[in-house]
Amino acid sequence: MDSTLFRVVSFQGHVDEDHQSLNNSTTTSSSRSSRQQNNYHHPYHREEDELECFNLFMDEEDLSSSSSKHYQPYQTTTTTTTTTTTSTPDIPLELSGKWAQDILVETARAIADKNTTRLQQLMWMLNELSSPYGDTDQKLASYFLQALFSRLAQAGDRTYRTLASASDKTCSFDSTRRTVLKFQELSPWTTFGHVASNGAILEALDGEPKLHILDISNTYCTQWPTLFEALATRNDDTPFLRLTSLVTTAAGASLMTEIASRMEKFARLMGVPFKFGVVHHQGKLSDFDFSELDIRDDEALAINCVNTLHSVAAVGDHRERVIASLLRLRPRIVTVVEEEADLDVGLEGFEFVRGFEECLRWFRVYFEALDESFPRTSNERLMLERAAGRAVVDLVACAAAESVERRERRRGGRGGCMEGGSLRLRLAKRFAMT
């Protein structure tokens, strides 16, 4: 299969002019993509320092053009030694207005069927048409093509770590703040999760003089200002609030100093007695020892999990162990907010194709929403798109045991969290899910 993948790229240097378009009805798409002359090589076929090109913040001049000449993470100096001209045969394929979805699904089927010849042709086609700076279809083709290359090369984990590391290097408080706030402004479902969680926490801790919230989430504390306002306007005395944020990413750890300062200033402004603490844990949440946390008997404890539990692998008993560890802290309530989706790509065959189609549908909706909500030249938009690209690599190319992006429908999520007789009853009483 490795030799097959290398031959995919060599098609670009030898294809006849007659095959530069999909067919007569797709001349516009082909002409749009014909500007791409970079070789989209495989993630394992590059040096580590070349991956700096995954910078989340490009100059506006670069972003203003959809040309892929500004984006060449896989530059190569491949030299063709053969003198024989190779041309790609016509591919019988009916394309709708969403051409990326059509070609990508056919590519997934070719992988499932182990049809090497058709796989070559389809991946060459995607390579010609894709661009991370184009329209929605071009972006989908670009990010999913990268994920498919990583899957075929069995380099998903390595590719994901490299992309995440490049993102962490360019992360700053100001850029993250703008991105998160802008996304929440445009995404009512995010705000709804915050409001629902805060309401459940306030109800569970009503009347308590000392509160402790353990926050395990990826919201960078944007959830808590509205909670401060609610506490400040209570009829009884304003309670003392201690907030502990458990951070499991390098990017999050680097931002928490500035976030802590702003949280403390806002609490003083609202007249809420407040103490903020951060616990850094580099690694899987399932490996964290929750008994090391400073849990006090005179404080009413609430645990807040926003977009967290899906990152704990459902393989084995990892998720159940995390839930059990949380319950051993004896919280008054545990709030859980998760996106309801079925993003679980199977290993092979029908399950792989079905899961791939669902991922493709999900991310098309996501990219279309970004396209409608952000200007074309926007660092915040680029940051969100690159994060989506990393998620695609995780879902398509990474093993289930290592995935941090797989999601389940609520039925599956509840099952994953509540397996075990005694645990099921305890969770039903003390969990609030949105």
The reply to whether 237 falls in a domain is yes
Query: What is the DSSP code (8-state) at residue 214?
Result: E
Kindly state the DSSP code that residue 404 receives in the 8-state scheme: S
| Domain count along the chain | 2
Q: Same structural domain for residues 234 and 131?
A: no
Residues 276 and 422 grouped into a single domain: yes
Confirm whether 204 is domain-assigned: yes
In a domain, residue 353? The reply is: yes
Q: Are residues 110 and 135 in the same domain?
A: yes
The predicted structure's pLDDT at residue 305: 93
Same domain? 217 vs 257 = yes
Write down the residue that tokens 């700076």 correspond to: 133
Residue 175, domain member (yes or no): no
Does residue 363 sit in the same domain as residue 326?
no
Residues 295 and 427 in one domain: yes
| Amino acid (one-letter) located at 271 | G
Q: Is residue 120 part of a domain?
A: yes
Whether residue 130 is contained in a domain is answered as: yes
Q: Within a domain: residue 37?
A: yes
> Residue 286 has what pLDDT?
86
Q: How many whole angstroms separate alpha carbon 87 and alpha carbon 11?
A: 7
Regarding whether 162 and 235 lie in a shared domain, the answer is: no
Phi-psi region of 409 (alpha: psi -120 to 50; beta: other; left: phi over 0): beta
Q: Answer left, alpha or beta for residue 316, where phi above 0 means left and psi between -120 and 50 means alpha.
A: left
In whole angstroms, give the CA distance from residue 330 to residue 215: 15
CB-based contact 139:129 (threshold 8 Å)? no
Helical H segments across 244-344, by residue range: 250-270, 318-327
Contact 252, 218 (CB under 8 A): yes
Would you say 302 and 211 are in contact if contact means Cβ atoms under 8 Å apart?
Answer: yes
Q: Are residue 161 and residue 197 in the same domain, yes or no?
A: no
Which stretches in the chain have pLDDT values below 50? Answer: 1-89, 411-431
Q: Which domain holds residue 65?
A: 2-11+30-86+101-170+348-397
Based on the fold, state whether residues 68 and 197 are members of the same structural domain: no
Using an 8 Å Cβ cutoff, are 71 and 104 in contact? no
Is 35 found in the same domain as 164?
yes
- Is the torsion defined by CA of 272, 176, 162, 408 positive or negative? positive
CATH number of the domain encompassing residue 302: 3.40.50
> Is 177 inside a domain boundary?
no
The pTM score is 0.70
> Do residues 312 and 224 both lie within one domain?
yes
Residues 390 and 413 in one domain: no
pLDDT in tens, 309-368: 888 877 777 888 899 999 999 999 999 988 777 777 767 778 889 989 999 999 999 999
Judging by beta carbons within 10 Å of its beta carbon (0-12, 13-18, 19+), is residue 31 exposed, middle or buried?
A: exposed
